[in-house]
Structure formats: structure tokens, C-alpha cells
A and B are shown apart, each in its own frame.
Chain A
Amino acid sequence: MMKEETTMLRLGTDQPDTRTMQSNDIFLARLKLLIISAKAYLGNYPLGKIRREAVIKNAKAILMILAQDISFEASLRRINESLDGMDIDYLLNERVKLLAFMAQAFAEDFPIGYHRRRVIENNVDYICDVMKIKDIEADADFLKVA
């Protein structure tokens, strides 16, 4: 079958801000993927074998970055102007860590009852709220059928 001729699709960063990716770009993007995977789990989206493995790999990568602590602090510093100091930093750090552990647990099919689901939900809401991440469900809508 011949491919249709179309104009080139352009995605990503606007031209004046185009640059190579730094470790804090990767951290923030991985954190978004972690939140989307938790939302997908809570929304009962299909989680196949490879998708589960991707969730686990992403959670491990986040935990590794948090253990090094460099990118996380750098990323927080960029969005932290409206926050009140170290307590929030520490709490956010711990909540992201917790979400990464939770993601590994649901991806590995560990039993997640009503209360654990509520904790995942609260944790996601807290992180999205502090980091001002909005409309993440709309971005991941197509995962329902992928």
C-alpha cells in the first residue's frame, strides 16, 4: 500500500526554545509518565505485559534519579517559587518516591485494595496540585484502546 503524501507534522518545543535534553527534562517527563500510568491503572485501562514492564522500568528510573537527588532538586527549583521552603520539597520528594513504589506494586499485580487505591489517588492529586500538572487524563485518553 502506498503511503499518503502529507505535510510534515511538527511536535515538541517551540523553535526559540529548542535545545538538547537535560537530566531535569527527563526527570519531569518521567514523572508525568508515572502519573499517567497511575491514572491509567486507577481508570482500569488495559495493562498488557509490555506496558507493565514499561511502568516498572519508569518507576525504577525515577527512584534512581531520586536516590541521586540532583535532577529532582534542579527540577523543583524551577517550579518552586510559589512553595514555602524545604518541608514541601521533602514531602513532594517522598510522595513521588511513594508513587514510584506504588506503580511497581500495581504493575507487578500485587494486591491493591480499596484503601491502597485511595492512597494512590490522593498521592497523584497532591503531586499534580503542587507541580501544577493539569489535564493529564486528556493526554492519555487513547490508552484506553491502545
Chain B
Amino acid sequence: MKIVVVEPDPLVKDFIVDVLEFSVNREVKSFDNGLKALRHLNQKGEFDVVISEAELPGLNGLELFKQIKKEWPDKIYILMSGNAENEKKAADIGLDAYLAKPVGVKDLFAIVENFVAKSKKKASPEG
């Protein structure tokens, strides 16, 4: 399961990456800019879950999701924001989850439990 995090604040980004790497025991790729992330995601398509902040330099998180979803509709897309107005926008474009900031370890573990651990079990029912 490959996770990509897009977050412009380096302190927040490093924290989220550390929690996710600790949870899934796999490397997590991260970007601080929407355009760089879009380029990477569209080029390779080697991802399963994208967690992005709404407000990003280059291209905002909602636009980023709209564009990648066209190309890769079956991946998991999660928006994070400290602005409550973005919650409805996330639902309107059919995102899988919304993380209202400030986020804690428990919220990120819940993401892993809901989207990563379940899909792992599906992929290998023997465990």
C-alpha cells in the first residue's frame, strides 16, 4: 500500500509522515506543492492513498484531487484542512475522507485502519 502526503508546512508534513510510516511500516512519499505532487502522481500512478492539505502552493488540494481522480478513479483520496468550508467541497467531489485539523495520531491511525489495514486483509485473506 503506497501512501502519498501533500502538505506545505514542513512540521506538519514530517509529523504526518512519521505517524504513517510507523503505522504501516512502509516508506511514505511526500510533497509540499500541489503541482509537484500532480506531476509525480500522474506520471507514475504508483500510489494507493493520497492525503492532501486543501491549501497548497502551485495547485490547491481540491483541484489536485479533481485532476488525479479523472486519471485514477479507484484510488483513495483524503483531504485535510483547518478551514471548515472545505468539508462540503470535499464531499461534493466525492472524496473518501476528510481530516479536520488539528489532526492527531488517533485520526491518522483511523485512516490506516479504515483504508490500509482493510485493503491488506482483502489482498491476503490468510493474513
Contacts and interface: CB of A to CB of B under 8 A. Distances in A.
A61 to B, nearest CB: 7
A26 B11 contact: yes
Contacts of A32: 104-106
A19 B101 contact: yes
Interface in A77-104: none
A70 to B, nearest CB: 12
Given A11-B107, A21-B82, A30-B15, A146 B117 contact: yes
Interface stretch (A52-60, A109-117, A120-128): A52-60
Contacts of A131: none
Given A8-B91, A142-B113, A55 B22 contact: yes
A20 interface: yes
Interface in A15-70: 15-16, 18-23, 25-26, 28-30, 32-33, 36-37, 46, 48-51, 53-55, 57-58, 61
A30 to B, nearest CB: 6
A129 interface: no
A22 B102 contact: yes
Nearest to B83: A18
Interface string A125-146: 0000000000000011011011
A12 B23 contact: no
B106 A26 contact: no
Interface of B: 9, 11-12, 14-15, 18-19, 21-27, 73-76, 80-84, 87, 90-91, 94-107, 109-114, 116-117, 127
28 contacts: A2-B74, A3-B76, A8-B94, A10-B87, A10-B98, A11-B110, A12-B102, A12-B103, A12-B107, A13-B101, A13-B102, A14-B100, A18-B83, A20-B101, A21-B11, A25-B104, A29-B104, A32-B105, A48-B25, A49-B25, A51-B21, A54-B21, A57-B14, A58-B22, A61-B14, A139-B109, A142-B112, A146-B24
Interface of A: 1-3, 6, 8-16, 18-23, 25-26, 28-30, 32-33, 36-37, 46, 48-51, 53-55, 57-58, 61, 139-140, 142-143, 145-146
Given A12-B101, A48-B25, 9 more contacts: A3-B75, A9-B97, A9-B114, A10-B100, A18-B100, A20-B9, A33-B19, A51-B25, A143-B23
